[in-house]
Amino acid sequence: MRLVLIASVVALGACAASPPTGPRPDPIPPEQNQCRASDYQYLVGRQRSEVPTQPVGATWRVTCNSCPVTMDYNPSRLNITYDERTGVIDAVRCG
């Protein structure tokens, strides 16, 4: 009986899906990722206090989604926006 149980567990394990191979698709097209926004997408849904220290030489702007900001477009600037009321990050993008 024990041998049948072990054999069935092994057989079920063989049916398990294997993890996908190859590179994961980048959620942000390369031409729109000059500021490396894809590296910081994990911040969406987290508190603004979890934003890491800005790397040396990087241009970042952390602001609330209802706060006034300049409208100039800088493809190498990382914009991190959060909800003013809750402090939850709702977007990470270049611009």
- Give 40-75 pLDDT, tens digit per residue: 999 999 999 999 999 999 999 999 999 999 999 999
**CATH code of the domain covering residue 46:** 3.30.10.10
Cα dihedral 44, 36, 32, 68, rounded to 10, equals 60
Q: Is residue 40 part of a domain?
A: yes
Length of the chain, in residues = 95
CA 28, chain centre distance (Å): 10
Report yes or no on 20 lying in a domain: no
Is residue 15 situated within a structural domain? no
Residue 10 lies in a domain: no
User: How many domains is the chain partitioned into structurally?
Assistant: 1
Q: What are phi and psi of 62, to 5 degrees?
A: -110, 115
Structural domain harbouring 61: 29-94
Look at residue 34 in the predicted model and tell me its pLDDT. 87
Res. 19: pLDDT tops 50: no
Q: Is residue 83 part of a domain?
A: yes
* pTM for this prediction: 0.67
Position 30 scores a pLDDT of: 72
Decide if 14 is inside a domain: no
